[in-house]
Each structure stands twice: as C-alpha cells, then as structure tokens.
Amino acid sequence: MFAYYLELALRSLKRNRALTALMVLAIALGIGASMTTLTVLHVLSGDPLPGSSGTLYYPQIDPRDNSGQLPGAEPPEQVTLIDGLNLLHAGRADRQALMTGGSVPIQPDSVVVDPFYVESRYTTADFFPMFGTRFSYGRGWNAADDEAKAREVVINGELNQRLFGGADSVGRNLRIADASFRIVGVLDDWAPNPHFYDLNTGSYGRAEQVFVPLQTALDLKMEHNGSNDCWGRGAGGVGRIYPSESCVWLQFWAQLDSPAKAADYKQFLVHYSQEQKALGRFAKAPNVRLRNMMQWLAHERVVPDDVRLQTGLAFGFLLVCLVNTVGLMLAKFMRRAGDLGVRRALGASKRALFGQLLIESGVVGVVGGAGGLLLAGLGLWVVRQRPSSYAALAHLDATMLLTTFVLALGSTLLAGMLPAWRACQVPPALQLKSN
Amino acid sequence: MELRPILSTLRRHKTTAWLLILEIALTCAIVCNAVFMINHRLQHMEMPTGIDEHALVQIQLAEVTPSPDIYARAREDLAVIRQVPGVLDVALVNQLPLGGSSSNASIKLDPEQRQPTLSAGTYFGGNLAQTMGLRLLAGRHLQPDEVLDADVVLKALATGDTKVIAPVTVITQAMAQRLWPGADALGKTIYVGPVGVRVVGVVADLARANAYDDATAHYSMILPMFMGAGKDQSYLIRTRPQDRQAVLKAAVAALKKADPRRVVTEQRTYDEVRDKFFENDRSMAGILVGAIAALLIVTALGIVGLASFWVAQRRRTIGVRRALGATRRNILNYFQTENLLLATIGIVLGMVLAYAINLFLMLHYELPRLPAIYFPVGAIALWLIGQLAVLGPALRAAAVPPVVATRSV
C-alpha cells in the first residue's frame, strides 16, 4: 500500500511542479537557516570539557573595600594575587590552580626566524591534570617546580610544529622573553571552547601556545594580558609592572569531586573571608560564590546575544515557511476534494485517505529536509568565512545532523497533518454530486 | 466594492484564509522588528568619535628584550617618528576610540560616595588631544609640564603621597553634562579612586575604546600620564589623508631601523580600526536584510500560490459572474479586495505581535522600544507585497471568458 500511495503522491506532486518546488524550497530555506543558526548556538553554548565540567568550580570572594558597591553586589570576577596564593596553599579542594594570561616573545635559535609573540598562560601545576589536557609528548610540571620557580615550559602542538616541525621536543631548550626554558611537555591540539578558564582574553577560538609556571612568570615579570579591576589606592599594572595589591587579575579554579565537598568548600570560603576580615584585609561581610563551570559560563553570558537573535530570527522564518506550506498543501488537497470523494465513495476509509495525504506531505518534508541539510552545510560554510572569533568552530556534528533530520521530517509531517485531516473530512456523496 | 460576497467565499475557506492571515502577521511582525534592528545598528555604526579619523594612523610595537627605561625609549621613538616626512604630529596613546581594548575608571563627585557616578574611558597622554584633532570647547589642553611618567604616578598612588602628581584632566562635553547638567565644568573636581582631579578643559567629543553602549560611549577623560613604551601602547600619527599609507610605511621602517629587535604588532589607518570595531554590527545588519528579503519573497510566493489555487477553483463561478455581466475589472477588483482584506487583518495581528516581540527583545537584549513609525512601514510593505503577488493570478481570473459558465467539467 505504501508503494502505491508513494506513487500517487509523486504523481500528484508532479502535476503542480511549480507549487511543489515552492513548497520544497520554502521548507529547505527554513530548515537550512534554522539549522545553521542552531548549530552555531549549539557549538557556542557547548560544554568545553564534557565529563569533568560538573566537578570544576570557580570560587569568588570579595576583598573590596566598602566604597564601591551596594550590599548584595556580585563579588569580583577574579582574585588578587594574595588571596589566590592563600587559597592555593590551603589546598582544600581535590585539585586547584591559580592562573592568569599574558603574551611572550619567542626567540628561536635560528637567526633566520624573527622573534614573534604568542599568547601565554601563567599557571600552577594542577592546571594540566584538572582540565585533562592531552599531551603529545611529556607532561606538565609539579607543585614543587612551581615553588622553585622552575624554568620549565609546556608548549602546544601548533608552536611545536612551527619550531620543531612536530618532533618530540621534550628536554630541548626554548628562549622566551630573554630567559632560557626547558620544554617538559607538548600538548596536542587541546583548546577548549569556550575558553572557559579566562573569558577576559577572549571567549572563543583562543588557545595559548605557551604555559609557564606562575611563580616563574611573576619572577621574570612576564607581560600580563587580561582584565584588572582595582579599588582604593589600587592601580592596574603597566606592562611589566604588575597590578597592585588591591586589584583582582588572576583566575582561581578548583576541582571538587562531590556536591558534599563543594558545600564544604563554600563554607571554607566563608571562613576564609571572616578570617581575612579579622586580620583587617577584607572590609565586607563574607560575600562568596561557588559556581560550577557551566553555571559560570551562563552567568557570564558567554554566548553572544547576536547568535541568540539570529537563532530566533531563523526559527521565525521557519515558522513562516511552514505556515506557508500548510496553506499551500491545504489549498491543494481541497482542490482534489473530487478525487478524494470518489475514493471515499469506493470504500476507502478516512484513515486510508489520511495516510495517503500524509505520505504526500512527507515526501515534500523529506525532500525539503534534504535540501535544508545541504543549505545548512552551505550556511555553515558561509559562517566559517566570516571574521568572528567563533567562525572556525561552526561545524555540523552527529547530534546536529540527527536534529536536522528529525526537525525537517517532524515539522513537515506536523504541517501535513492539518491539511490531510481537513481534506479527509470531505463527505463522499457531496463531492460526487457537486460537479 | 461589495464586501459581502468576498466574506462569504472566505467563510467557506476559513482554514486556508486564516493560514494566510497568520503568515502575513508573522512576516509583518518579524519585518517590523528586523527593520528596526537594522536601523539601530546603522545608527550605532555612525557613532562620531570626535577625532580626525581620516588623518590618523596607528603603529604598535612589542619589544623582545624589555627596555631598561621605557620612558626614554618612547621619547626616542616619538622623536624618530617626528623626523619622518609627512608626519604632522605624533602621540603615545594607551587606547584608541573604538579600539576595543580599553582602560576605564570609576568616577565619583564625592570620595565618600558608595556608588560611582559613572565609568569613564581614561586616555593617558601629553599632546594626545592635538594629535587626534579634538575640538576644545572650554578651558585649555593639558600642558607638557603637567604630564608625568606612569611609574611616578603609580608610586604616588600606592604610597598615598599624591602631592607630586598634577591632578588635572580634560573631559568630554558629554561627561561634563552628565556630571554637572547645565553648569560650567571648568575648575570642578572629580574623584578617580581617592584622588581629586581638577577639570581644566572640555572637548567636544572623544568616544571610548569600548563604545558598545550608545548612552555611555562618549564619557572619556584625558589624564596627564606618559605610559612609556609597551606592547599595549601605540604611536598615533597625524598626517594628510592622502599620505597615510606612505607615512605608515616610512614610520615603521624608521622605527625598525632605530631598533630592529622589535615586533610590529599593529600598523593600520584609523579607518581600519573603525571598520574592525563595527564588523559584527555590519554582518548582523546584512543578515537581517537577507532575512527580510527571504521572508517577503516566501510570503509573496505563498500568496501567489494560494491565489492561483483559488482562481483555478473558482473558474466556473467567475465564468458565471462574467456571463451575468461582470466586467473584467470587477473580477480583478474582487481578487484584489480579497487580498487587501486578508492582508489588513494580517497586518493588524502582525502589529500586536511586533509589539510583543519588541517587548521580549527589550527585556532580554537591551533593545529600545520600537518607535511607532515602524508600524506603518511594515503595513505598507505588506500591503504592497500582497497586491503585487495577487496581481498575476487576479489578471488570469479576469481573463476567464464568460463561455466557461456554459461548459460542464
């Protein structure tokens, strides 16, 4: 029966080629636009570290004086150097790392290659195991190296390719900002998106090429990049002069393996704030936050508003296209009321007619959906050509491919349902009489 | 034109008619908001900066080996650039209007205030105002002897011994109006952190580096601090517009010659700075234009398709009407009026929807209220589209000969 209905449907669709083309094109455009924007939204709001993001937390404490803010205001988005080191040395989390961003000149040995600047991250040792960085060669450094201000460096795959042609460079020396470093590890193409651990240096498409122990970087006065927020007598740093004590400019991340540990850690932050207030360093009552990674990304509204707007716009467009198709399909089915009446009179059940018409709308849906998929591919290619920072990330993955397929078929079947149902309501006798 | 026959026909095609109305309403609502958003973006992109945009070029350098004295280094560089033919003026700047990366400070009128009055962009530099070509409205520019090296200022701030620094500033007209509406700003004091700073000059305009919000985009101040050479500082050169490329090239070459161990991280005209800042707005406006076109085309084609069906379905009725004496014009008018009626209902619903969408956008995306002028714009666009789309099928209907009435199917 299905084959017969399919043939009927194709025959009917062929009869009004222009109209069929219009319906298919409208669906394809609608699906293509919504899938393009939905894929971009999906990529940008994705989990940068699936599996471990739930146990990573971004503690916030409030060391500011009372002058600047109203009670109940959010604590600063970063930590001061003193607080960062205190939290690090307290070691209350399963793992913890204190870090900030910068940029450093790389001075290759060869005289042919000019020195060049790359983005760098100054961090303590737990960064690597906590964030699950993947190494091609070697590994990270350890906490003792941090304290010893070791001249050790981890580089990423891109820099390793540029400097050493991708060979195992562990143990070799690299000159950075006029100091000699020993390479201890080479990352593969690890670059989480969003760049969750420091959103101030860009949210998407950022990957540091050089990782230096924090204490080493501070000791060598390597240049700092990112946001400084100061109060009181604090002043943001200039070049190699670092921000003063009453400035927040570092990020502190903690790994807490269970909700109970997270609750304990929050208590610890409150105690720490009280202790610092007793010491006279903090002025305010404890004002702490402990968000996990995805909560932090949501709080920071990391997905650009324009991307959300575009998605809304595309779905509005899809809705118009669907309404358009429903209207056309209905008009078409009603025009065939005569045929349908004859079939009904010859004994076809309403159910059978409904099935037949639904197959016809399903064919439009499948073809439109396939066209939509092609258009989405094209749309994403266009997005990738654009200059935005997230351009390179816009690719369809398996989830989105499946979503497209379900969306296309589902929405057109749903759209076909109404006209098919209306057309089935035709009383057989009336239609036979009318002409 | 008699409306009754049209209404009674439509009553027999209720579902189809409502679908068309729904389509027109949705299109109208989205188009109204999209046109508004395009206009909003275009206005934002026209933001004035107050500087002489077409006469400026920027060079940014990063040193591989830190200079022992960054201030001497910067002074040497400025002297080198001044020697380049075609250079009219040059300044060391910490940020550029619409440059993106910004330096800002919280401003208070009273140091005991809990909440700062506003946040302003902080420009540091000596003859920055002259190089940028800022228009002085009142008072004076900063004097060369007031400008101090950054570490002197930072040290004074850290120790609290602020007597050594010259606490004067030049602010923008917008900032002056916001702080002291209607009053003269000259001689008044603002507080940057704990330090009181006296206003000695007011310039017409100087946009911020992070001018994302139109309301606060023109709150800027110039402080007499010399930052010294550093990778975040730029040399801003003033030249004649036609000399920009040549001067840029010659200045980079001269700087490279003065010290080859430096990396040029930026060399561009100010026009490029501006283009880059509004890149996303431009592409968003483009996307919106595309969306409007696609929506109107789909809706128009939908109207054509539906009208064609109705014409085909009513051929016999049309023939009967023609046989009974209706003119071609009557038939044409019939379909045109039918479309006008459906479009009008759609537009009215669309307006309500447009308003609702705007409310949602105001709540979530900080968009202003949709001005009333956009409603007639959307209405006229859809009436026109509807009439144009229905014309073809209506003409075909008008061409139906009366003889059709006499034929049975």
Could you give the ipTM of this predicted complex?
0.85
pLDDT digits (tens, 9 = 90+) for B99-123: 988 888 888 898 888 778 888 999 9
Q: Is residue A80 within 8 Å of A245, Cβ to Cβ?
A: yes
| Rg of chain A on CA atoms, in Å | 31
Name the closest residue on chain A to residue B102, using Cα atoms.
A227
Q: Residues of B with CB below 8 A from A332's CB?
A: 309
Name the closest residue on chain B to residue A232, using Cα atoms.
B193
CB contacts under 8 A, A 225-244 vs B, are 230-236, 238-241, 244
Q: Is residue B87 within 8 Å of B248, Cβ to Cβ?
A: no
The stretch B157-165 carries a mean pLDDT of 74
Name the closest residue on chain B to residue A223, using Cα atoms.
B231
Least confident of A403-407, B162-166, B321-325: B162-166
- The whole-number pLDDT of residue A373 equals 86
- The whole-number pLDDT of residue A268 equals 94
For testing the chain A interface, which of B9, B13, B19, B70 should be mutated: the one with the most A CBs within 10 Å?
Answer: B19
- The whole-number pLDDT of residue A71 equals 66
Least confident of A380-394, B21-35, B173-187: A380-394
Q: Within 10 A of A397 (CB to CB), how many other CB atoms are there?
A: 12
- The whole-number pLDDT of residue A9 equals 79
Report helix, strand or coil for B112: coil
Nearest of B124, B111, B168 to residue A233 by alpha carbon: B111
pLDDT digits (tens, 9 = 90+) for A181-238: 999 999 998 888 889 999 887 778 778 999 999 999 999 888 888 888 887 777 766 6
Contact B64 A177 (CB under 8 A): yes
What is the 3 state secondary structure string of chain A? CHHHHHHHHHHHHHHCHHHHHHHHHHHHHHHHHHHHHHHHHHHHCCCCCCCCHHHEEEEECCCCCCCCCCCCCCCCCCECHHHHHHHHHHCCCCEEEEEEEEEEEEECCCCCCCCEEEEEEEECCCHHHHHCCCEEEECCCCHHHHHCCCCEEEECHHHHHHHHCCCCCCCCEEEECCEEEEEEEEECCCCCCCCCCCHHHCCCCCCCCEEEEHHHHHHHCCCEECCCEECCCCCCCECCECCCCCEECEEEEEECCCHHHHHHHHHHHHHHHHHHHHCCCCCCCCCCEEEEHHHHHHHCCCCCHHHHHHHHHHHHHHHHHHHHHHHHHHHHHHHCHHHHHHHHHCCCCHHHHHHHHHHHHHHHHHHHHHHHHHHHHHHHHHHHHCCCCCHHHCCCCHHHHHHHHHHHHHHHHHHHHHHHHHHHCCCHHHHHHHC
pLDDT score of B409 more than 60: no
CA distance B219 to B61: 28
Q: Residues of A with CB below 8 A from B409's CB?
A: 435
Both tokens of residue A239? 């070049």
Distance of CA B230 to the CA centre of its chain: 31
| Rg of chain B on CA atoms, in Å | 32
Give, for all 435 residues of chain A, the pLDDT tens digit. 778 888 877 888 788 788 888 888 888 999 899 888 988 888 888 888 888 888 999 999 998 876 655 667 888 899 999 999 999 999 999 999 999 998 888 988 776 677 888 999 999 999 999 999 999 999 999 999 999 999 999 999 999 999 999 899 999 999 998 899 999 999 998 888 889 999 887 778 778 999 999 999 999 888 888 888 887 777 766 656 788 788 899 999 999 999 999 999 999 999 999 999 898 888 888 889 999 999 999 998 888 888 889 999 999 999 999 899 888 888 888 877 777 888 888 888 888 888 888 888 888 888 888 898 889 889 889 888 877 777 778 888 888 888 877 887 788 778 788 888 888 877 766 655 554
Nearest of A131, A99, A86 to residue A268 by alpha carbon: A86
For testing the chain A interface, which of B309, B317, B361 should be mutated: the one with the most A CBs within 10 Å?
Answer: B309
Q: What are phi and psi of A122, to 5 degrees?
A: -105, 115
Contact B231 A239 (CB under 8 A): yes
Contact B295 A236 (CB under 8 A): no
- The whole-number pLDDT of residue A384 equals 87
- The whole-number pLDDT of residue B292 equals 92
Of A231, A239, A320, the CB nearest to B70: A239
Q: Within 10 A of B315 (CB to CB), how many other CB atoms are there?
A: 16
pTM given for the model: 0.85
Contact A231 B150 (CB under 8 A): no
Name the closest residue on chain B to residue A383, using Cα atoms.
B283
The stretch B145-149 carries a mean pLDDT of 89
Both tokens of residue B63? 């040193």
pLDDT digits (tens, 9 = 90+) for B222-277: 999 998 888 889 999 999 999 999 999 999 999 999 888 788 889 999 999 999 99
CA distance B199 to B184: 10
Q: Residues of B with CB below 8 A from A324's CB?
A: 23, 298-299, 301-302
pLDDT score of B347 more than 90: yes
CA distance B273 to B96: 8
The stretch B183-196 carries a mean pLDDT of 88
- The whole-number pLDDT of residue A112 equals 67
Q: Of B12 and A264, which is predicted with more confidence?
A: A264
**Percentage of chain B exceeding pLDDT 70:** 99
Least confident of A380-384, B52-56, B201-205, B346-350: A380-384
Nearest of B70, B101, B225 to residue B155 by alpha carbon: B225
CA distance A41 to B70: 45
For testing the chain A interface, which of B10, B154, B227, B282 should be mutated: the one with the most A CBs within 10 Å?
Answer: B154
Please provide the average confidence, as pLDDT, over all residues in chain B.
Answer: 89
Q: Is residue A316 within 8 Å of B298, Cβ to Cβ?
A: no
Q: Residues of A with CB below 8 A from B227's CB?
A: 238
Q: Residues of A with CB below 8 A from B37's CB?
A: 309
Number of A to B CB contacts under 8 A, please give it. 162
Is the four-CA dihedral B79, B80, B86, B91 of positive or negative sign?
negative
Distance from CA of B30 to the nearest CA of A (A): 7
- The whole-number pLDDT of residue B159 equals 76
Contact A33 B302 (CB under 8 A): no
Q: What are phi and psi of A97, to 5 degrees?
A: -145, 140
